[in-house]
Each structure stands twice: as C-alpha cells, then as structure tokens.
A and B are shown apart, each in its own frame.
Chain A
Amino acid sequence: MMQTASHEDSVIEGSAGKGFQLRFPAGIAGVAIQALLILLLAVAIFGPLLNLLLWAVAEVWYFPHKLPVTYGTKYWEQVFSPTSDAFSSLMTSVIIALTTVFVCLLVSVPAGYALARRSMPVRALVMLLFLMPQAFPNLAVYMNIARLFYELGLNGTIAGVVLVHAVHGLVFSVWITVAAFSGVDEDLEKAARNLGASPLRTFFTITLPQALPGILAASIFVFLESLDEFTGTFFVGAPDVITLPMLLYNASMEGNYQIASITALILLVPSILFMLVVEKFMRPEMLARIGK
C-alpha cells in the first residue's frame, strides 16, 4: 500500500513538477529543519491543552511537584452530579444555545431567501449590516445592550442572553442561508409552480430541502458561537445566568483549576467534534472555492 502510494507520488511529481525536482531537491537537512519546526509548533499548540488535561484528572497538585501528586475522578463526579453548579450550567448553556439557533433560523431563513431570490434595493448594504457586528470590537456594544436591557428588565434573564447571542449569530446564519438559497435550482421551483404547487408548498417541498445542508451548517455555527460566548453573557447574564463559560471563569478566578479544566473540556467536546466533522470542508483547497 505504501509502495503504491509513493510510486504514484513520484509519477505525479515527475509529470507535473520537473522544475521542482531539479530546483528543490528534498535535502535531508531541509526536511530535518522543517520537521523540527513542525515539532516545535506542535509542542506550542498541544502543550497548553496537555496542561488542561492534566488538571482535569489531578486531585492533588501543588508546587514544586512537576506533575499531579494524585490522580482521580473526584472532581468529575462533582461536576456531573445532578445537583452540581456545573450540571445546571451545562443545562443553561444548552438551552440558551438551542434557543439562539431557533431565534436565528426564525429570522434568517426568510431573510436569507428574500436576499438570495428577490430583487431588493440596497441589497449589498443590507448584507453588510449583518456583517457589522463582526467588524467592530463589540465589548462596548455589549455594555450598552446591558444598560438597555436593565431598563427593559431583560438583564439577568435567559431571554436577554439569547438575544445577545442571536445578534452575533445572525452574521453566520444570514450569510450562510443566503449562500444556501442562492445554490437552489430555480428551474425546479418554476416546474413545481407550473404543476400547480402553491408558493408555500414549493418552498417547503422543493426549496427548503435543497438549502438544508447550508441551514444545518449555519445552525452548527450559531450553536457553537452561543455555547462559547463569554463577553455578552458577562455583561447581560451575570450573576443570575451562569453558562458554562461563566462557570469556567468563576472557577478559574477562585483558583479551582480542576473544575475550570473539566468545564473547559466539556466546552471543547462539541468544538472538536465539529472540527472533525467539517474536516473535509475545511481544507484550504475547498475554502478557496468559496466566493468564486
């Protein structure tokens, strides 16, 4: 198997890149330097994550011990006991994230369809407006939303946190649904209409199923964005609404690194799952096609 692969490699290189072969001999020194630099990068990237993992399974760890003194799952049991703060934070976070996805889709699906299909004045300007929350440092915006929400009685409520998360998620959901609806074959819609389907029926049986992968992708983005959000929750939710990132922050500031690290790991699970799932879409070659 390996032999076949390397044989194919050399055939490809031989036919496509003669110049490369001549000018860039893969010298042992060059490969060694590259390998060393990649190793350094890997240490820098995985070192901090390893430290997090160690804290998650450490029961006792104090200076000057270089590694935890005792390992165990005591803190895991604490986190996952149904009466713990962590468990209720997890529930709060999931409820907020799911509601945020729902709110975002509720307003983005019609908006995305309209922006993709119907001629609209100042379309580019409207699209840019949805991009704005990403183009500004948004901390000051959160402060003033909190001030506004305080007057409306929305501060410290789940609804308030959902709204703050949703406006940031809107950037993803609107832009991705516009792209998804733009990709739907309009001739199929016309055919359905000609055969007597109502506009609504056409939308739900022809248009929506074709746009579904894009809408799902948008949902995943919005879900993760909400799950990981800290700053907005810090201003609008605290101290009443404690999401996982807020719990992590509080535990870390109190010096409870075990709880903080376990919470961090819980937050990592959906992110890493998502990374593995979208692995094939995240290749640079694929990304380069977006916007072409």
Chain B
Amino acid sequence: MNQSRTLTLLMVVPALLMVVGLFVVPLLASMESAFATGEGYGFAHFAKAIELYGRDILYTLGIVSLSAVLIALLSIAIGGTLTLSGNRRLVAVLAAVYRWPLFIPFIVAAQCMRTFLAKNGLMNNALMSADVITPLEAVSFLDWSGIVFAFVWKQTAFATLMIAGAMAAMERSQIQAAANLGAGKARILFQIILPQVSGTVGVALILSIVTMLSVLSVPLMIGTGTPTMLTADMAFRISSYGDYGVANALGFISWLMTAGLAWYYLRFSMRNQQQSLKGGAA
C-alpha cells in the first residue's frame, strides 16, 4: 500500500512540478513584485499604475463588459434559434456558420479585423459599393469598437457551443408542455430554457472574460493609439521601461477583475466534476 502511494506520487510529481514552477511561482512572484517597493511592501506601484493608466483600467472594464454582454445576447439568440426554430434547413445552416471562429487563433482574427475594419477595408468598401455610406463617411473601426468586434466575433462561437450544448441536453418535453399551454417562443426561451442553462451561460462568459483579459495580440494590432487595454500597457511597461513593479500591479488589477468570477467558476466546475464522478461510479 505504502509502495503504491509512493508510485502514485511519483507519477503525478513531474506534471505538478511543471504547473508549480511555471505557473504558481511566477504568479506569486508577480504578486510580490506588485507590492514590493524600495522599502518594504506598499501600494506605491498601484498608485503609479492608477495615475498613469487609470483611464485604461476603466477602458478595459468597459470593453470587456460590453463584449461580454454582446457575446451573451448573441450566443443565447443563436442557441435559442438552434433549439426552437421549426425550420431544419435554417438550423443546419446556422450550425454550420456560427462555429467557424472557434478554432481560428486570436492573432489571425486580429489580422482579419485589421484589414476588414480599416478605413479602406472590405467592410467600408462594401458599404460604399452598396451606397449605404459615401466615401467621406467612411471611418476606421480600428479602436475600441474594433477590439469589441474581434472579441465578440471570436468568443461568441465558443459561448454558443457551450450554451447550445446545455440547451440541447434539456428535457424536450418541458418545452413541448410549455408550448402546449400556449407559451410563445420568446417566453419559452426566457422562462423555461434560460433559467436552466444559466450556470452554463455564466461559465461561458467567465471563460470568455478571462480570455479577453489575457489576449495581447488583439489590442496591440487593433487598438492603435490611446487609450488602450491593460494587456498592451503591461507589455509596453516591460518592453520600454523594464518596470516590473507597475506592470505587475496592472496584472494584479486585472486579476482582481476576474477573482470573483474565477471563484464562481471553480466552484461550478467542482460541482460539475463531483456530478461526473458520481456518474462514473454509478
């Protein structure tokens, strides 16, 4: 028994060492560096970070919140259509269309948007050709709106996949019962389906928010000029000044933004895991 314990431990240790050495240690180092000042610990880096990048903190919060709301609306609408539409052909087309961005890397998405949303990009050209706008009205979307577009474009596929999956797993009979009692599609979506998939919606959004707060390529390639997102500020702080204190303080602030969310996420996935363990044992 004892020997088997040792063996088990030996099998897990290399993987554990990697996560500890390459994730936990740098994470702790980052937190330490955020608070470490010349004399002991304090909030000097945070004061400087807020003074220099206060506007970017708000800007980041705004972009991420707006993107999350749009992702939620779109993925619920797409999931709802996939579940409730009576037209099979439309459902098949929609299912084939929505998931394309899922496997497209962020850096590729950023390059697509950099050309598509530019002042002389395909979007403005198409709108001009269709006489929707005149050449003088064409503006570049390579600012906050482009970042939001790129995030929503990329993450909606992911959120929809999770949410539509949860909707498909629901008891079909409930929807039919509600329909038989006279509920319309919108009412079924909001009063029957959504309350039951709210956990999945939450997890999909949290994962998307964590992703948006981690992606560097999109703000670097689309959000040209000031203000910009915290990820770009951190990279700039390191590459131009080697200022780890302020960069790590900004990192800590972006962690605070997700800390509450991550807690909810871990709790939810633990509950899920317990359920799957029970399922596995049965």
> A residues engaging B (CB < 8 A)?
9, 16-17, 19-20, 23-24, 26, 31, 34-35, 37-38, 41-42, 44-52, 54-55, 63-64, 66-67, 106-108, 110-111, 113-115, 118, 120, 124, 126-148, 163-164, 166-167, 170, 174, 182, 224, 227-228, 230-231, 234-235, 245, 248-249, 252-253, 257, 260-261, 264, 267-268, 271-272, 274-275, 282-285, 287-289, 291-292
Contacts and interface: CB of A to CB of B under 8 A. Distances in A.
Contacts of B153: 44-45, 48
A63 B140 CA distance: 13
B276 A268 contact: no
Interface string B2-46: 001001101110111011101111110110010000000000000
A170 B17 CA distance: 12
Contact of A139 (B11, B100, B234): B234
Contacts of A136: 27, 210, 255, 258, 262
A143 B270 contact: no
Interface string B116-128: 1100111101101
A148 B115 contact: no
Nearest to B85: A34
A248 B180 CA distance: 55
A271 B252 contact: no
Contact of A284 (B84, B112, B167, B221): B167
A230 B107 CA distance: 7
- The DSSP consensus for interface residues of chain A is helix
A231 B107 CA distance: 10
Contacts of A134: 207, 210
B250 to A, nearest CB: 8
5 nearest CB pairs, A to B: A140-B251, A288-B169, A228-B105, A48-B112, A137-B213
B192 interface: no
Given A137-B258, A249-B217, A271-B103, 15 more contacts: A26-B87, A48-B117, A48-B122, A49-B104, A51-B116, A51-B122, A64-B120, A114-B7, A135-B258, A140-B247, A141-B30, A230-B105, A230-B216, A248-B108, A291-B273
B4 to A, nearest CB: 7
Contacts of A166: 18, 22
B269 interface: yes
A273 B185 CA distance: 36
Contacts of B169: 285, 288-289, 292
A126 to B, nearest CB: 7
Given A166-B18, A249-B220, A288-B165, A128 B11 contact: no
Query: Which of B10, B114, B269 counts the most A-chain CB atoms under 10 A from its CB?
Result: B114
A45 B95 CA distance: 13
26 contacts: A19-B177, A41-B94, A51-B116, A106-B14, A107-B15, A110-B12, A124-B270, A126-B16, A128-B266, A128-B270, A131-B269, A136-B27, A141-B23, A141-B26, A142-B26, A143-B238, A167-B19, A224-B103, A228-B106, A230-B216, A231-B217, A248-B111, A264-B112, A274-B103, A275-B102, A282-B102
Interface residues of B, number: 116
Contact of B115 (A170, A257, A284): A257
A130 B258 contact: no
B101 interface: yes
Nearest to A231: B216
A38 B266 contact: no
B73 to A, nearest CB: 13
Query: Which of A54, A288, A289 counts the most B-chain CB atoms under 10 A from its CB?
Result: A288
Contacts of B207: 134
A87 B110 CA distance: 22
Contacts of A133: 19, 23
Contacts of A23: 179-180, 182-184
Contact of A249 (B24, B30, B99, B107): B107
B237 to A, nearest CB: 9
Given A144-B26, A230-B106, A111 B12 contact: yes
B176 A19 contact: yes
B129 interface: yes
